[in-house]
Structure 1
Amino acid sequence: MQDLRRADLRQLEDVLKEAEETTRADYVGNSPEHDHATALQLFLDRIPINNSIPGIRNAPVVELKTGDSVKDAIELLYTKNAFGAPITDVSDRFPYIGFLDFATLVLWSLEKCVPIDGHGETGSLMSLLGKNPEIGNTKIGELAKSFLWNPFFAVHLEDTLFHVLLLLSKHRVQVAPIVDQSHLRVIGFVTQTAVIQLLLRSDGLAWFDSIVEKPLAEFRFENESVSCVYGDESIAEALRILFKSRIGAIAVVDRQNRRLIGCVRNSDVYLLMENDKIFHDRKTRTVEEFIHIETENLDHVPTIERDMGALLSAGVLELRNKYLPRMDSPVTNKKTDTLKQAMKNLAGTKSDFSFQVDDLQRPQGILTSRDIILQFAPPSMNSNIDGGGFFESALERAGCQIKGGNLVCDH
């Protein structure tokens, strides 16, 4: 496996080097002083998914059916160590109709379930769902009415990084599923973190530097505020705020000075299944205790396995993600940092968000991978650059066009 990953890394480096060298050569001949859009086209449209995302075919994909129950879906994802799965409807020729992640299922269930007794629940999450059959037996298909599904927008192996960038910037999706067109099956996923790592390969190109060299304070991001919970509040309260925030992470702060001491993320929710005692004590145990529970997520193998961890997003993205920082060591940036520094910070830590803090380490906002990707989006989508002819031609190839500031697809 290690030899295979080294081969994947060498292949990725070759693809990016060729794209970068060709881009630089063409860029010089294309009047870079007034044609940054051409440079963007030349680079992004020369990085095919098939050769730039290692390990796409390394693992099978877990799928959920519309007729599956919430309880069975949670157990399946946990058992298969999958952070989420596409939702299928076998009545359609193209079976995929949505995407649902483990954390959303669990957090929604906790919001809806009635406590077993007046002092809290005994047993496990599964036993709670068993004693609340109206929740545990809810069909996955019914959750669409609660807007818990993520949309399903597929990419194909022959598509380029630009196509993925367009999807992730326009739509609120965690990942872009890769579909094998010959069999109409999902064979893997492209993550937002992988896209940011590939974008960083553009470092040094004028079009890229013109975007990323500015400080974060000059950007307008989607999330100007950050959801917080005090360290002395309960785990249950933190989970409630996490579910309502819909961002995927909340800050844990000290009540006295509001200093950032940790975070709780969607990726940490699996611990409720991993440890029944945590689940049982979630209403009495503090969130500060919770963020110190996870102590095994250390730099266990400082090799290619960790360096390429975020890119090795084959068939199933792991629920127990060993590449993420610990809950008590959240990723941070200051508003004086440049966007490039923030991108490198996220890529280096394999995180999909960073808290913006002041000099006293008090959270001022949250920067997500989506916020970063939006800065490279086509015109009329919160972009800081003029895409010009590149985006017009690329959208035309995709059967889309810009009308009245909106993206309109012809199919």
Structure 2
Amino acid sequence: MVIEIPADTTIAEALKVLSESNIMSAPVRNPEAGDSLDWRDKYLGIIDYAAIVLWVLENAELAAVALSAGSAAAVGVGAGAVGAIGALALGATGPLAVAGLTVAAVTAAAAGGIAAEKGLGKDAPTAADTLGDDFYKVLLQEEPFKSTKVGQIAKSFRWTPFLPVATDSSMLSVLLLLSKYRLRNVPVVKPGSPSIKNFITQSAIVKGLQQCKGRDWFDCISSSPISDLGLPFMSYDRVVSIKSDELILEAFKRMKDNQIGGLPVVEGPKQKLVGSVGIRDIRYLLLKPDLFSNFRQLTVLDFINTITASEQELGKVAPTITCKLDSSLGSVIEKLAANQVQRVYAVAGEEEYVVGVVTLRDVISCFIHEPPNHFDNYYGLAVMELLNE
């Protein structure tokens, strides 16, 4: 059964559904669709952790503006969200207008001489560093987090398009969407029916590949060292990481800015790997903010240690999995599938410093090749433009 989230569900409630159901995303159902047989009418898009992170950080920037103009009480944060009115007072449009803060907060920020087009004054990590738990109280326990609906952010805050495939679509098309075109999951609809029948995820594909062990075509490719296959695709000097003593909000901001789902946590000049943080970890910060109330400066290491210690209460914390450059692709597939993780970090040397990242998408791409004009012929120009945005 596909778990759907109505568009009038609050962000907080949607986050609980994702966390308790142990899923990364869910389709957003339009309550006003009526009896339409077109999936375009029934669904507004997908809500996932990436969308929530984007939304949180946009609101964090606005909260930083308001708080930099004075205390939360002084600027009236928490008196009620006013959406577009608050954002427009700062000259903000688009997704920011959806997020919004209170009129009093934005007015105070504007009075402090802070303009939206100048970077919103203090950024979110700086505000969190300076104001401590007051910042998180404003962001998470007050407006707009308490009342913003999923439907308001489903289209404005996303990294990839909402693009279902039909039950009679080719698996090659699905694999290409999940690898080259960077979709994290692909909804499946039955022709003539408005409902999503299932999702095909990157994780499911890699688990399927794991079960192909023993077949000639699979063994031929999977027995090769990952370095012989060009993995990791990204050179070591381009790996995006976060230091253990940096702020956790900076980690989520870095994921947002680079449109990636996780970061290695490193220490020292050689970037020794000491842990990892993923985009879905935002759920701990949003659902259990009381766990972090004692931290004046919530660093990445503080965050990891806290959620690890509270694993029984919060649910399983994704482990940090590593491999070597001479590891076989098959062994990497085994690690990804067995540990249910999105990425494996390639390390080198006795200190295990990070030299690359191998993701589910990278693994899938090793087994496929896109024929010339495949999507032009299959989907048409409009969809290709959507995929290449």
Report the TM-score, using the length of structure 2 for normalisation.
Answer: 0.65
Counterpart contact for 1:267–1:321, Cα < 8 Å: no
1:288 to 301, 319, 334: 301
Give the partner amino acid of 2:234.
N
1:379 to 367, 370, 382: 370
Match of 1:272 in 2: 285
Q: Counterparts of 2:45 and 2:260 in 1: how far apart (Å)?
A: 19
Structure 1 gaps of 5+ residues are: 1-56, 301-319, 382-391
Percent identical residues: 25
Q: Which moved more, 1:157-166 or 1:348-357?
A: 157-166
Match of 1:73 in 2: 11
Counterpart contact for 2:178–2:201, Cα < 8 Å: no
Q: Which moved more, 1:171-180 or 1:334-343?
A: 171-180
Match of 1:120 in 2: 132
Match of 1:366 in 2: 357
2:67 matches 1:106 = no
Q: Deviations over 1:195-223 (max 9, x none)?
A: 11111222233322332222222233553
Q: Counterparts of 2:182 and 2:334 in 1: how far apart (Å)?
A: 22
Give the partner amino acid of 2:337.
A
Give the partner amino acid of 1:366.
V
Aligned positions of 1:78-227 closer than 5 A: 78-79=16-17, 81=20, 82-89=23-30, 90=32, 93-94=38-39, 95-113=42-60, 114-115=63-64, 116=67, 117=71, 119-122=131-134, 127-128=138-139, 133=144, 137=148, 140-141=151-152, 144-145=155-156, 148-156=158-166, 161-181=171-191, 183-220=193-230, 221-224=232-235, 225-227=238-240
Note closer, same or farther for the CA distance 1:203–1:242 as it changes in structure 2 (3 Å cut): same
Q: Which has the higher contact order (CA 8 A, sep 6+)?
A: 1
RMSD over aligned CA atoms reads: 3.9
Counterpart contact for 2:321–2:345, Cα < 8 Å: yes
Give the partner amino acid of 2:359.
T
Note closer, same or farther for the CA distance 1:64–1:368 as it changes in structure 2 (3 Å cut): farther
Give the partner amino acid of 1:112.
N
Aligned positions of 1:320-399 closer than 5 A: 322=316, 325-326=318-319, 330-359=320-349, 360-379=351-370
Q: Counterparts of 2:17 and 2:380 in 1: how far apart (Å)?
A: 44
Q: Secondary structure at the match of 2:337?
A: helix
1:400 to 359, 372, 378: 378
Q: Counterparts of 2:16 and 2:239 in 1: how far apart (Å)?
A: 29
Counterpart contact for 2:44–2:155, Cα < 8 Å: no
Match of 1:22 in 2: none
Note closer, same or farther for the CA distance 1:61–1:238 as it changes in structure 2 (3 Å cut): same
Match of 2:244 in 1: 231
Note closer, same or farther for the CA distance 1:136–1:297 as it changes in structure 2 (3 Å cut): closer
Note closer, same or farther for the CA distance 1:261–1:149 as it changes in structure 2 (3 Å cut): closer
Counterpart contact for 1:96–1:152, Cα < 8 Å: no
Note closer, same or farther for the CA distance 1:108–1:282 as it changes in structure 2 (3 Å cut): farther
Q: Deviations over 1:161-193 (max 9, x none)?
A: 545324313432111223355642124322211
- How far has the Cα of 1:363 moved from its partner? 0.7
Counterpart contact for 1:332–1:357, Cα < 8 Å: yes
Note closer, same or farther for the CA distance 1:348–1:296 as it changes in structure 2 (3 Å cut): farther
Q: Counterparts of 1:61 and 1:76 in 2: how far apart (Å)?
A: 11
Counterpart contact for 2:248–2:298, Cα < 8 Å: yes
Q: Counterparts of 2:49 and 2:184 in 1: how far apart (Å)?
A: 13
2:263 matches 1:250 = yes
Q: Secondary structure at the match of 2:47?
A: strand
Q: Deviations over 1:319-352 (max 9, x none)?
A: x763x633xxx11111111211211111111111
Q: Secondary structure at the match of 1:227?
A: coil
Counterpart contact for 2:225–2:325, Cα < 8 Å: yes
- How far has the Cα of 1:239 moved from its partner? 2.4
Aligned positions of 1:37-76 closer than 5 A: 57=1, 60-65=2-7, 68=8, 72-76=10-14
Structure 2 gaps of 5+ residues are: 72-129
Counterpart contact for 1:232–1:288, Cα < 8 Å: yes
Q: Deviations over 1:259-286 (max 9, x none)?
A: 1000010121111123223454666022
Count of residues in correspondence between the two structures: 306
Report the TM-score, using the length of structure 1 for normalisation.
Answer: 0.62
Counterpart contact for 1:124–1:276, Cα < 8 Å: yes
Counterpart contact for 1:156–1:180, Cα < 8 Å: yes
Q: Counterparts of 1:218 and 1:135 in 2: how far apart (Å)?
A: 50
Give the partner amino acid of 1:335.
L
